[in-house]
Amino acid sequence: MVAASRLSSSVEGQRLVLHYLGPRDEPWLRALLDVCARFAGKTQVELRERLNEPLPTMAPRRKLRLAIQVLERLLPEAPKRAPSPRELRFRVFHAAARSPAPRGEILGRVAQDLRVEVEQVEDALFADLASQRRVAPLPADLSPARLALLANQALVLTFLKRAERVRIRAWGNTRALIRHARMLGLICLIRRTAESEDAALAAREPRGVLLEISGPFALFRKTEVYGRSLSSLLPRAARCQHFELEADCVLSSGAALCTLLVSPSDPIYPARELPSYASSVEASFARDIGRLAPDWLLVSEPPPVERDGALIFPDFELHHRDDPARRWLLEIIGFWTPEHLREKLATLEAAKLSRMILCVDDARRCSEADLPAHARVLRYKSRIDVARLLQMIEASMP
Amino acid sequence: MRLLFDHGTLVLADPPDLRLDFVPGLLWDPRVGLYRAPAFRYAEVLAALQARALPCVDEVGASQGSELGAWRPLALRPYQRAALLSWDLADQRGLLVMPTGSGKTRVALSAIAASGGRTLCLVPTRALLQQWLAQLGAAYTGRLGCLGDGQRAVEAVTVSTFESAYRLMPTIGNRFDLLVVDEAHHFGVGARDEALEMCTAPRRLGLTATPPDAGAMHRLSQLLGDTCYQLGVADLTGSYLADFELVVLPLGLNAAERERYEQDNRRFSELNRRFRQLYPQGTWQELVSVASQSAEGRAALAAWRRARRLLGFTSAKARAVATLLARHRGSRILVFTADNAAAYAIARQHLIMPMTCDISRAERQRALECFRRGELEALVSARVLNEGIDVPDAEVAIVVGSALGEREHVQRVGRLLRPAPGKRAVVYELVTAATSEVWRAATRRRALGGRRLSA
């Protein structure tokens, strides 16, 4: 993880201030893009060596480092699958050791065996190695302004990965944000907020939602993957009509927490639209229900249930086709800790939602402690077992 | 009064009502209201308390865990026996400095067997972890613990990577009587030293072919003990190590290369001159730190990198590599470069297997096996073959470039020194004349202990 002190930011009191890239940075960003464009087709390591040297235009060091990190993620070319570089190396180097023939002849022989051109053999020989991958051409729509927005987003995300707690208040078009948080399985509580102070917003949607999310630094396990999931929430928030993000971040070990505030006025690149199904687990579950339990009707994303200010968002509603009274709600939990589950179960109990089943993924457990006893929880590994779910429902029927 | 192990430190609970500043390393910890000392000073703390006849219950728990197994007898060469005796005479604390291929691990196994205590062996890489487990498995009948490479089992004799030891020592640091550190020169300079600090083992054995510089050596002597036995490459070549010939090939730069080199070198020399005026004793890190503050300084550093890159693999070196590979066709050859870029360039041009950090461990292992069987004649590497891998025997080394100085050079040459009947290895060193490579190469050679040179 990059040290906080090496990022384009400063601390004022307890507040973390990010120094975003803006229009003033566009000249050197353009120079940077020009350099990268000239290296298309060359190896990553050649580009990296060039980027170690100064640009023709002066660039602030921390911002430049950030922009380069963003570009490095955009530029590597995907390794070609055939011929397999690893297999190719084995063949070529063995052939060369066996025969004193000239280089071209050896490559020609290997190419002939594999029924490919000699150039393909040359190209693929080290194509899978990180430093030897070719630099892809720049995306056509990558302008200095867009690179600045992407770099700003990366800057915020880096600090979100250091968060202990995150609170997002959002108004308007919030469904996508909540869906995304749930799809990622973040440990979060969702409730209604107080009315917005923005009159126009309040007229359209008087009460927004508040997501209270545990940050990666509040966990003991899987912090890196959790941090990545959490940070992907920000671009979704940017698609709401209005949002306020507040994160308590750990800048260095033992130091006091610093608060990062992000709002729509900050220059951050918005996200793409969401896929139709929230996750592959949900998609396969919907398919399995249709196939294995034709008597049951599955409704995706039923309306949220509101109890005492808390919002509960079931993923599915399952009801029997012949007996509508047999109606169950299902929520698929992603990352979880037993404490989080306990809290969730208490909320369900308070809401008198007795017919709700939580499905928890064993692979996304974030604590060593055990599950609460007697909870109506179905554990799964990569795929929800429909037969076990139906057994649980039948066993719970009076 | 009780002495306890607490998160990689020692804690003195229920202390007597008197000043304890005669106990080495003991400090008052106001957070918990107890005396605390570094775990590696366990033996000194106990000795100091006993010297004043202060009653102390030792609850550090050094002898917990599974039972010890038996050891099979190990035959040692005379110099290995001498090394073991020296370590014994130094109260079983100290550093053995012996060349690559001289059997340091064998001495360590004998030391573990002789000490008869619970032992933790630290190694830098996963490849070495497996090698140690294999060698211990052949000599020791008990169960072996392993920390690292996906395993987490602690036994009376355990091997751990440096990384795992660093993470786990707060919980396991009190379980061992003897701490063995392979490639000990990695310690003495940074945060990883805490792995050695957090262990209570009073007996300690460090192994290295290349002792670190004076600063790190001072720290290392606190953590492991002083150097108790030292042999150089020259002491063993021709008897227990294969004899070798060092051939230095002075090469030139072509006109374009010379112009680029001079230009970049001038730029960096100017920066270096001005820095030395301001900070005559400044270190390289300080120079980089100061230079990074200005665009001009960064440009000078970039020029230095360009010059180093150019010298790493010049057109004359490319021709020399081609000639040497052709001349020694049929021998097993190791080619060493200063960086991965040069290694790939040679691999691509001469169709020889590169051994770099980009290549997966499984593929590297497969290549080493093929090299051992003679199916591959040559390997080219920047750093991967320097240490931490059991490299099969080779007869020829071509040192195209070097980035890490004397220690790297000794490790590289050591790769050729496994003895065989009638074997005489050859090390070619390609040096670009009238450049900074000349004095760097001379410094490297001094570390080999006065080898006869051919040119």
Q: Name the one residue in this structure whose structure tokens are 């057994």.
A: A391
- The predicted structure's pLDDT at residue A275: 58
Q: Between residues B129 and B444, which one has the greater pLDDT? A: B129
pLDDT of B268 over the 70 cut: yes
The CA distance from B8 to the nearest CA of chain A, in Å, is: 18
Strand B144-148's sheet: what is its strand order?
B151-153, B144-148, B157-161, B119-123, B178-181, B203-208, B93-97, B227-230
Lowest-confidence pick of A300-304, A372-376, B262-266: A372-376
Q: Name the one residue in this structure whose structure tokens are 């490919």.
A: A116
> Could you report the per-residue pLDDT of A140-159, keeping only the tens digit for each?
888 999 999 889 988 888 88
pLDDT of B455 over the 50 cut: no
Residue A109: CB partners within 8 Å, gap ≥ 6? A95, A101
- The predicted structure's pLDDT at residue B215: 81
Query: Once rounded to an integer, what is the mean pLDDT over residues A196-203?
Result: 60
- The predicted structure's pLDDT at residue B282: 85
Query: Once rounded to an integer, what is the mean pLDDT over residues B339-365?
Result: 91
Is this complex scored with an ipTM above 0.90? no
Residue A160: CB partners within 8 Å, gap ≥ 6? A166, A215, A227, A230, A231, A233, A234, A247, A249, A260
CA distance B451 to B406: 14
**Token reading at B372:** 């051992």
Q: Measured between beta carbons, which residues in chain B are less than 8 angstroms from residue A126?
A: 344, 347-348, 354, 358
Residue B182: CB partners within 8 Å, gap ≥ 6? B104, B105, B108, B121, B122, B123, B124, B128, B132, B207
> Could you report the per-residue pLDDT of B329-343, keeping only the tens digit for each?
989 999 999 989 899
Q: Which of B295, B341, B352 sits opposite A93 (nearest CB)?
A: B352
**Token reading at B453:** 């040179």
> Could you report the per-residue pLDDT of A287-327, keeping only the tens digit for each?
888 888 888 888 777 777 776 666 677 778 888 878 877 88
CA distance B188 to B202: 18
pLDDT of A214 over the 90 cut: no
Q: Measured between beta carbons, which residues in chain A are less than 8 angstroms from residue B378?
A: 97
Q: Do B305 and A52 touch (CB under 8 A)?
A: yes
> Could you report the per-residue pLDDT of A96-137, keeping only the tens digit for each?
998 889 999 999 999 999 888 998 898 889 988 888 888 888
- The predicted structure's pLDDT at residue B205: 97
Give the whole-number percent of chain B exceeding pLDDT 90: 46
Lowest-confidence pick of A271-275, B79-83, B343-347: A271-275
Terminal CA-to-CA distance of chain A, rounded, Å? Answer: 53
The CA distance from B241 to the nearest CA of chain A, in Å, is: 28
> Measured over all CA atoms, what is the biggest interatomic distance in chain A, rounded to whole angstroms?
83
The CA distance from B351 to the nearest CA of chain A, in Å, is: 6
- The predicted structure's pLDDT at residue B64: 62
Residue in A93, A106, A107 to test binding to B, most B beta-carbons within 10 Å: A93
Q: Name the one residue in this structure whose structure tokens are 């009653």.
A: B55
Q: Average per-residue pLDDT in chain A?
A: 79
> Could you report the per-residue pLDDT of A222-281, keeping only the tens digit for each?
466 677 777 778 877 877 878 888 988 888 766 778 898 988 888 876 655 555 566 677
Would you place residue B370 in the very low, low, confident or very high pLDDT band (cuts 50, 70, 90)? very high
Q: Are B173 and B118 in contact (CB under 8 A)?
A: no
Q: Do A97 and B375 touch (CB under 8 A)?
A: yes
Other beta carbons less than 10 A from residue B431's beta carbon: 23
Q: Measured between beta carbons, which residues in chain B are less than 8 angstroms from residue A97?
A: 352, 375-378
- The pTM score is 0.66
> Could you report the per-residue pLDDT of B138-182, keeping only the tens digit for each?
999 999 999 988 788 899 999 999 989 988 898 899 999 999 999
SS3 for B357-402 is CCCCHHHHHHHHHHHHHCCCCEEEECCCCCCCCCCCCCCEEEECCC
| B357-B362-B363 Cα angle (round to 5) | 70
